[in-house]
Amino acid sequence: MIMNLLYPDPYRMVFASLLFSTLLGLSILFYKFIYPKKKINLFFLLILISILPIISIFREGTYQAGDLSLHSAYLQGFYNNLKLGILVPRWGADFCGGYGCPNFMFEYMLPFYIGSVFHFIGFSFINSMKLFLASSYILSGITMYLFIKDEYGDKSAFVASLLYLFAPIRFIEMHFRVSVGTDAAFIFIPLSFLFAKKIADGKNIYVSLFAINLLLLTLAHSSSAFMIIPLSILYALFKLKDKKQLVHLIIACVLGAGLTAYYVFPALSEIKYTWYNPNVVVKYTKEAFFPIWYYLFSPARYGLLFQGNQGELRLIVGYPHLFIFILGTILLIKSKFPKKETLAVTLILLFTFISFCMMLSFTAPLWNNIFFFKSFVLPWRMLIPIAFFTSFLSAFIVKKWNNKILILFCLFVVLSTVLNWGNRKMVPPNPNEYQNTWIMYSEYFKPNNPLYLHRLNTRLPIADTLVLNHPKSHLVIISGKGQYKEIERTPILHKYIVSASTNLNIIDNTYYFPGWNVYANGKPIHLNIENPLKFGAISFNLKPGLYIIEAKFENTNIINIGNLTSFLSFIILISLFFSSKYIIKFK
């Protein structure tokens, strides 16, 4: 009985959602009754409404489905790196069964930086990730509001932000899959277009802001950045007024790309050593795509639930979003938009249509032959730009509606999603989640050889699941006589004193990845990663003697190039930002 109260089932959460929605509605009516002549602050109302779908996040425990616990474990590994002064974590020392792997080199970093701040304040790792989910959701509504209000007014901004917040993909990613990178990306997508437009408006300070936002979007979710940044640039190109603004846009893009180099260069270069190698593993067959109807209607709970009873996802565009797209198309055909808006509406409809088509099977050749698309893995990620563009499109349409129609439409946008304002169920968190975590990089590609090498010795099949066999010690003497003592260990440095009475064959129970080097008394020694006794782990030989052994995860050449590029870009950015042209003068 107590557990039922702590971890309520989704039906009671739906009741709670309806209750809070009713209370908010009654509060608005009461306010209008007390202050009939005062206008409701739409920005403040938007924030109140955006709280409704995140209430369920703060139930005790973790999600029954999705990756909340997994990302909480990632956060712990990330935070441990930061605590040791490793400001750009790349190696997860305790992942992959305790053998370590370079998950942070390829995973999105920004959510874990934000989560680390929450944990530093005093929240648990799992509550820190919950706070990240909640704050990123609210912030995304705010950034969308700022983007639309800048040109189209507060009513359009309010409706567009609601559509953006209540798109089905938002709940799928926040409550069902818990894709923290995508959740973070939604904050910066509207800012990409806002800053691009500001550059086109001749406001030079937005050169720096566009570049910074490009960096943050990439660190949040690189696939979303690859989708959105080119479209925001194209949007800016159609708004440019002179060559000077074009130069500013080019500078902003180059600086933004330079800032991301420290993350993007090694990720693109060394992803070939992982199972994620798009050129070998990622193949888009017809099974990777869904028929058109799948994106238009959910068969679960009369079309109102975006996750089935077995956890299957209902990847729909959203009924209000479809309505806006169809209505926008009809109005464009009938020439109902002013001339100055016609081009923008046309572009938005075109971007939306292309994004939708990219989710259909006839585009498989593009997905299979362009590296840019291969990195997406899931074609239905195109729902991300669709959610943004249909919300953006509403800004042009709803400003002509009267208040009654606006209210009815907003109610439809919000309440049609109420069944999805929470995950399927809350369960007690697994106390061993961190130790048991293993991720995609527990298998790798042998350098210069596209053979898929499985580390079978680290995994035991139990009831059709894979459980990792954690190493009992960090260093193992396989053959020969000798002794050792560990004197220092961080995620990127393992230091031992080894006394070898005979020739030794030693294994450091760490998976090899480019960047790992071993030094004996300061001199590099040869590594063997194909030792059949512990395949893939770092193995080396020592002759008789006394040694200080250091296993270091060091920067590769591509990491150094990326770091230098980002550093130079940062220096240029700071110079531009604080130059006389870019100082904001306050009256």
CA-to-CA dists, residue 346 to 32, 150, 198, 389, angstroms: 38, 20, 20, 11
Share of the chain above pLDDT 70, in %: 88
How open is the CA angle 63-67-68, to the nearest 5 degrees? Answer: 55
The predicted structure's pLDDT at residue 276: 65
> pLDDT for 404-462, tens place per residue?
999 999 999 999 999 999 887 888 876 555 554 444 444 454 444 433 344 433 333 33
Average pLDDT over every residue of 397-402: 89
The predicted structure's pLDDT at residue 431: 59
The predicted structure's pLDDT at residue 93: 87
Residue 341 C-beta-side C-alpha neighbours within 13 Å: 16
For residue 128, give both structure tokens. Answer: 């820190």
Share of the chain above pLDDT 90, in %: 56
Q: Which amino acid, 242?
A: D
The predicted structure's pLDDT at residue 473: 87
Average pLDDT over every residue of 465-482: 76
- Residue 212, judged by CB atoms within 10 A of its CB (0-12, 13-18, 19+), counts as buried
Domain ranges of the chain: 2-64+108-427
Query: Rounded distance, CA 73 to CA 84, Å?
Result: 17
The predicted structure's pLDDT at residue 196: 92
Q: Is the pLDDT of residue 281 over 60?
A: no
What's the longest Cα–Cα distance across the chain?
A: 91
CA-to-CA dists, residue 179 to 137, 184, 309, 489, angstroms: 12, 9, 20, 31
Query: Rounded distance, CA 149 to CA 146, Å?
Result: 5
Residue with the larger pLDDT of the pair 4 and 232: 232
3-state secondary structure of 66: coil
Query: Rounded distance, CA 513 to CA 275, Å?
Result: 13
Q: Which of 7-11, 144-148, 286-290, 299-303 has the lowest average pLDDT?
A: 7-11
The predicted structure's pLDDT at residue 376: 76
Give the DSSP per-residue string, 271-295.
GGGBTT-TTTT----GGGS--GGGG
3-state secondary structure of 97: helix
For residue 283, give both structure tokens. Answer: 């193949």
The predicted structure's pLDDT at residue 109: 93
The predicted structure's pLDDT at residue 117: 97
Query: Rounded distance, CA 158 to CA 1, Å?
Result: 42
Q: Is the pLDDT of residue 585 over 50?
A: no
For residue 133, give both structure tokens. Answer: 């989910």
Query: Rounded distance, CA 207 to CA 272, Å?
Result: 34
Query: Rounded distance, CA 152 to CA 146, Å?
Result: 10
| Among 186, 174, 178, CA closest to 420 | 174
Average pLDDT over every residue of 104-109: 88
For residue 327, give both structure tokens. Answer: 């209505």
Average pLDDT over every residue of 196-200: 89
**pTM score of the predicted model:** 0.90
Query: Rounded distance, CA 195 to CA 212, Å?
Result: 10
Query: Rounded distance, CA 518 to CA 500, Å?
Result: 16
> pLDDT for 26-50, tens place per residue?
999 898 888 888 888 999 999 999 9
- Name the H helices within 416-463: 433-436
CB 286 within 8 A of CB 293: no
| Among 120, 114, 116, 93, CA closest to 104 | 93
- Residue 153, judged by CB atoms within 10 A of its CB (0-12, 13-18, 19+), counts as middle
> pLDDT for 108-140, tens place per residue?
899 999 999 999 999 999 999 999 999 999 999
What burial letters (b/e) apply to 69-90, b meaning 16+ CB within 10 Å? bbbbbbbbbbbbbbeeebeebb
Q: Which of 39-48, 58-67, 372-381 has the lowest average pLDDT?
A: 372-381
The residue written with tokens 């193992």 in the block is: 476
Query: Rounded distance, CA 454 to CA 458, Å?
Result: 9
| Among 102, 23, 251, CA closest to 553 | 102
Q: What integer best gives the mean pLDDT of the chain?
A: 86
Query: Rounded distance, CA 439 to CA 441, Å?
Result: 6
Q: Is the pLDDT of residue 6 over 60?
A: no
How open is the CA angle 291-293-299, to the nearest 5 degrees? Answer: 115
- Distance between the two ends of the chain, CA-based, in angstroms? 62
Q: Is the pLDDT of residue 164 over 80?
A: yes
CB 93 within 8 A of CB 77: yes
Q: Which of 6-10, 138-142, 275-279 has the lowest average pLDDT?
A: 6-10
3-state secondary structure of 551: strand
Average pLDDT over every residue of 528-544: 85
For residue 175, give both structure tokens. Answer: 């409550």
The predicted structure's pLDDT at residue 377: 74
> pLDDT for 300-353, tens place per residue?
888 888 886 667 888 999 999 999 999 999 999 999 999 889 988 999 999 999
| Among 13, 101, 3, CA closest to 57 | 13
For residue 536, give both structure tokens. Answer: 């893939």
Query: Rounded distance, CA 101 to CA 95, Å?
Result: 6
What burial letters (b/e) apply to 36-53, b meaning 16+ CB within 10 Å? eeeeeebbebbeebbebb
Residue with the larger pLDDT of the pair 51 and 427: 51
> pLDDT for 493-520, tens place per residue?
999 999 999 999 999 999 888 899 999 9
3-state secondary structure of 531: coil
Query: Rounded distance, CA 478 to CA 534, Å?
Result: 10
